[in-house]
Amino acid sequence: MPALEERIKSLVIKLHEIDALKFGDYKMKVGINSPVYFDLRVIVSHPAVMRMLAELMWDFTKSDVECQHICGVPYTALPIASIISVTANIPMLIRRKETKDYGTRKLIEGKFNKGDKCIIIEDVVTSGSSILETYRDLCNEGLDVTETIVVVDREQGGLHNLAKYGVKMRSLCTLSKIMDVLCEAGRVDSSTVQRVKDYLASSQVNLKNYIDVGVKTEVSSNRRLTMNFVQRAAEAKSPLSSRLLHLMSKKRTNLCLSADETTVKEILNLATTLGPYICMLKIHSDIIEDFSPEFTEKLVDISNNNDFLIMEDRKFADIGHIASMQYSRGYHRISSWADLVTVHPIPGDGILDGLKSAILDIPNKPIRGCFLVVEMSSKGNLCSPEYIKGALKLVSAHEDFVSGIVCQSSTTVTLPGLIQLTPGVQLVAGGDKLGQQYNSPEHVMLSLGADVAVVGRGITKAKDPTQAAVEYRDRLWAAYEKRII
């Protein structure tokens, strides 16, 4: 077989022949126009080139690699990775690109163990952002990503950007080398070579939108995610948001226990034993069979002794007039004992006015706050991006009362003074039989942007709820510390 170098030259010419490599004026994903464009997707229509490329990639890689898995960056590199997997008999992993609205929310398909070594295969690298996304998800699942092998390095900063995050990358060929090969073969003229050279000199891509948080995560320019809780308390407009941020920082816990039990005894028992580990205890008072005013008095005492807040997860959703009575009247008299409540923004502004008016009637005017439920954790929920956007508009007129947002995405909450509460958390990703979807503590903190994570059955149904609460508290707090700078 010819030397690697000769095979690379033949491949470059083939790629040019099948139009996987074109010259002109192309708009790129990173926003700079390019005189050269790679479209390696076309190789699926040329099986012989696909095999040539995959075999070459593996021969280039194999002498210097140790891995239990190969993962192709979606989508172009998937067929290449598949062929390598079959040729080299190395199991493949697939990273899902979509993170929402499917069964288990599993991000990585394929069987693996934590600590397994994995290499990433990519077709073309420009800034390195797609590779970083794949790298982040593999790391978050506990895989040890040893390096990335790419077909073409466009030499626009990808290698440097990846190195900044500790990601090793090797490329089969660079754009400069491709230009040399094509020029030598008489397939491009010297003015095209010069245009590409000039372009490379003026179009280095710097990834500002990534920060190093140990397990890498994209945090864009969202200050909330990198500030610590005390710094954020200074920007909080709602007194309860400020109190919760300080409380979390002092107690070093951002765990909210969802005590979804149906008897007073079980809830008080959980509050007493797990109180030291949590920042908030959340209940649904309407599922408690023996609810009484004495219960709430005892719960408030336990919360004072253990320094946590009480949230009634009532999810109010009626017109302001009714919501105000549901909050302060009836059997539960929620406003008299719950520091925080959850509210659906669906009725519009009036529901917040209604709830706030009810607080004015409580003797001593206690500090109260609410969390707007803008996006749910359940499969198939109807919270569209338009709904979320509209719901968030309610915040500015009620900054004193809205302490935070219940949601599932790191980009929803940007104001540092607002707190993101994210339910659907268990030690491993998965779901229940009724549509609930779970993500790991690290994933909700580092990828979904949670500040407070809500854990219910993951703790209450554990063999040893205390041990489980300690594990959730420690993992959530460690992830928070990795995130802040």
Binding-site ranges for ligand S5P (CB under 6 A): 258, 260, 313, 342, 373, 376-377, 406, 423-424, 436, 454-458
Q: How is residue 126 annotated by DSSP?
A: S
Q: Toward ligand S5P, which CB reaches closer, 229 or 371?
A: 371
Q: What are the residues whose beta carbons fall under 8 Å from the beta carbon of 393, sequence distance 6 or more?
A: none
Task: Give the shortest CB-30-to-ligand S5P separation in angstroms.
Answer: 34
Q: Toward ligand S5P, which CB reaches closer, 101 or 184?
A: 101
Question: CB of 287 within 8 A of CB of 312?
Answer: no
Per DSSP, the residues of 66-80 read --SEEEEPTTTHHHH
Distance CA 57, CA 41 (A): 16
Q: Toward ligand S5P, which CB reaches closer, 81 or 421?
A: 421
Q: Toward ligand S5P, which CB reaches closer, 147 or 313?
A: 313
Task: Give the shortest CB-460-to-ligand S5P separation in angstroms.
Answer: 7
Task: Give the shortest CB-223-to-ligand S5P separation in angstroms.
Answer: 25
Q: Is 212 helix (H, G, I), strand (E, B) or coil?
A: coil
Q: Toward ligand S5P, which CB reaches closer, 275 or 430?
A: 430
Question: CB of 260 within 8 A of CB of 239?
Answer: no
Could you tell me the end-to-end alpha-carbon distance of the chain, in angstroms, rounded to an integer? 52
Cis peptide bond upstream of 75, omega within 30: yes
Task: Give the shortest CB-478-to-ligand S5P separation in angstroms.
Answer: 20
Query: CB nearest ligand S5P: which residue?
Result: 456
Task: Give the shortest CB-459-to-ligand S5P separation in angstroms.
Answer: 8
Q: Is residue 97 among the annotated active site residues?
A: no
Cis peptide bond upstream of 480, omega within 30: no
Q: What are phi and psi for residue 255, nearest 5 degrees?
A: -95, 125
Q: Which of 150, 139, 141, 157 is nearest to 32 (CA)?
A: 157
Neighbouring C-beta atoms of residue 25, cutoff 10 Å: 10
Task: Give the shortest CB-454-to-ligand S5P separation in angstroms.
Answer: 5
Question: CB of 381 within 8 A of CB of 375?
Answer: yes
Q: Which of 20, 75, 77 is nearest to 43 (CA)?
A: 20
Question: CB of 369 within 8 A of CB of 240?
Answer: yes
Catalytic residue from among 315, 356, 379, 482: 315
Question: CB of 128 within 8 A of CB of 158?
Answer: yes
Task: Give the shortest CB-423-to-ligand S5P separation in angstroms.
Answer: 3
Q: What are the residues whose beta carbons fall under 8 Å from the beta carbon of 479, sequence distance 6 or more?
A: 215, 441, 442, 445, 446
Give alpha helix (H) positions in 47-203: 47-62, 77-88, 129-140, 158-164, 175-184, 190-202
Cα 122 from chain centre: 22
Q: Which of 447, 454, 451, 449 is nearest to 477 (CA)?
A: 451
49: left (phi over 0), alpha (psi -120 to 50) or beta: alpha
Catalytic residues, which ones? 315
